[in-house]
Structure formats: C-alpha cells, structure tokens
Amino acid sequence: MSQAIEAPAGNRRRILMYDPTLRDGHHAVRHQLDRDQLRGYASAADAAGVPVVEVGHGNGLGASSLQVGRAKLSDDQMLSTVREALPNSRMGVFMLPGWGTTADLRKAVAHGADVVRIAAHCTESDVAERHLDFLRDAGVEAQGVLLMSHMATPERLAEQCADLVAYGAQAVGIFDSSGHYLPSDVTERITAITKAVDVPLIFHGHNNLGMAVANSVAAAESGVGIIDGCARGFGAGAGNTQLEVLVPVLERVGFSTGIDLYALLDAADLAERELMPTPPTISSESIVSGLAGVFSGFKTRVQEASRRAGVDPRDVFFELGRRQAVAGQEDLIVDVVMELRKGTKIRDHDGVGRETAGR
C-alpha cells in the first residue's frame, strides 16, 4: 500500500526536494553507472513524486576525464536515458565552469534539462556569470551554487549569492561539500543570505560528521526552499543527506514535500540494491575529512595514495585542509603524501608543527 505524506491543514511551508543521486552518487562508483541503473532509479524517483532528479558525471557536465575519472556513459547518453524515464519529474544537471562549457549547456538544454545548476567555489561567483547569462535566454531554470562554503564567512557568502542573482540565477545556495557544518553554522549562513537575496535558497549537505539531516532541517527552518538529498545518502565519502530519512523528518517538523513516502522508500531500496556496492558509511577518514574541511570526493584518492606510500591518510586530510584544497586539485594529494613520506615538517590539525615519519 502506498502512502502519501499528507500535510495537515495549516500553514505548512513547501520544501522542494532536489535529488542528485544519479550525479553526486557517481563519485561513489567511479562514475560507472550504466543505462539500466540510471533508468531504473529515475523511474522510481519519478513514481515517488520527487520534483527534480539530477543526472551526470559526479563533477558535472564535461567533466569525464583522466584527472577526475572517466564515466561509463557520455553526457549525451546519460541525459537521454534519464529524460525518457522522467514523465513527471524535472531533470536537473550540474556544471562547474572549467570542466563544462557553454556548448555542454547547449546540449543539455537540447536533451530536455529543466534545471541547470552552475557551481563555483565559494569566493569565485564571477566564473558563473557567462553561463548564467546564457541560461537566462535558454528557457530553463538557472541556479547558482557555492561549493566548499565553509571556507567563506556568512557575509561573504551573502555577497557572492547576491552576485549570482545579478548574473541571472533564479535560485542560489550553498554546498557543505566536506560535511563540515553543524546546525548553528548553517543557520548563521542562511540567515545572512536571506537578507541579501529574494530568490529561493538551496542547501546541499554531506554526512561526514553525521549531521546532514540535522543541518538540512536547520536550513529549512532558516528559510531555505530547495534541499538536496540522495537515496541512502549515495555520494562521495560518507555520503550526502539521506533523502528517504530527510523527507519524513521535514514532514514531522512541519514542512510539506508532496512526496509519496512508500514509493520513496521503494526507490531507496532499489538504489541500495542496484546502484551501490554498499551504502555510504562514516569511516574514520570521512570524519577527519569533515573536521579538516576537505572535499568528500578526495577520499578514495587519499586512501590509495596513502596506502602506496605508507602514510596515515588522516594526516593527509588535515594537511589538505590546512592548504584549503578544493575539487580539481587532486594532484595536491600526491604532493602532500610525498612530503609526509619524506618526513617533511607539517602543521598538525591542532596548529602544532611536527615531524612525520611516514608511518
């Protein structure tokens, strides 16, 4: 028996759920999802009434490469497959300028993308200007999002979001790319951004410290109208906010999502069975990644490089955090590992310099 999560009478604010399972989840399987996997989950999410289903390489349009991983399918193949499986839900795509280009956006629009997110590092909103300007006339919803948002103050994030709106973004928001936030951090940042813009706000959480659902609730209570969640938290490292947990929690605390609970649970079961070797877990490295504020997608590369060199991956994460490494700087992992292996003096996570012996 299917059951919709009915909102009782009263002023229950609507939260639009945005599902990047088929994009962010790609990080967890080295971007190797096939057509049947994409089609199967997209159909299940559509049946549950998930408003937006995002698809693509984990790093977005145009990102399939040796540096961050070659996808099993091309962007064109992924987009066409998922578009056919979404008779009701809108299809979303994600692009990082530098990986993707206007030509990639043009192809995504031709494939029927309804929502296009342009992402930028939290202090570099200007890189999105050209692409948001293109989307302004393309007939799709353009959103602007800031990555690694813990690296900027609430005031700086508010300024950057205001710039994204000026460039043409119809919704703006922040990604907790390393799972670093606590609820109070989210509240402080969203409160600042609400004072600077008058478009819907977005929040995207990661679960390195086990706070993704709590942070997402804090975002909703602070005024966010669009919240991301993945089936079983499918995503890099410790994973993303768990969609099938977040939806009923939001309903319990007084929000409305319009999503069918039983069908959503069925979609999550299918995702666990068909998409992932195992659901994401909060490993020791994931915790350290969250504490250090390092992009969750670095986890596998850090583990592999550390194992080969015989160094502690936790030391690598803390040093990457000290250097404020961001996605696209994967080569820095090797540099840090080699310095640790040589016993180079580094600054520990507590700020104390120490010698390492390549343990």
Cα gap 306→288, rounded to integer Å: 14
Which sign, positive or negative, has the C-alpha torsion 85, 91, 94, 97? Answer: positive
Residue 347: beta bridge partners? 353
Q: Where are the alpha helices (DSSP H) in the chain?
A: 21-24, 35-48, 75-84, 102-110, 129-136, 154-167, 183-194, 212-221, 243-252, 261-274, 284-292, 299-309, 313-322, 331-341
E strand or H helix at 52, and its extent?
strand 52-55
Pick the catalytic residue from 27, 57, 131, 180. 27
Q: Are 289 and 179 in contact (CB under 8 A)?
A: yes
Residue 271 to residues 127, 232, 278: CA-CA distances in angstroms? 34, 7, 10
Q: How many CB atoms lie within 10 A of CB 74?
A: 12
- The CB density around residue 172, as the number of other CB atoms within 10 Å, is 28
> What is the per-residue burial (b if ≥16 Cβ within 10 Å, else e) of 22-51?
bbbbbbbbebebeeebbbbbbbbbbbbbbb
Place of tokens 């999560």: 5
Rounded Cα distance between 270 and 22, Å, is 13
Token couple for 51: 């408003």
Pairing mode of beta strands 115-121, 16-20: unpaired
27 is catalytic: yes
- What is the C-alpha to C-alpha distance for residues 96 and 155, in angstroms, rounded to an integer? 23
Q: Which residues are catalytic?
A: 27
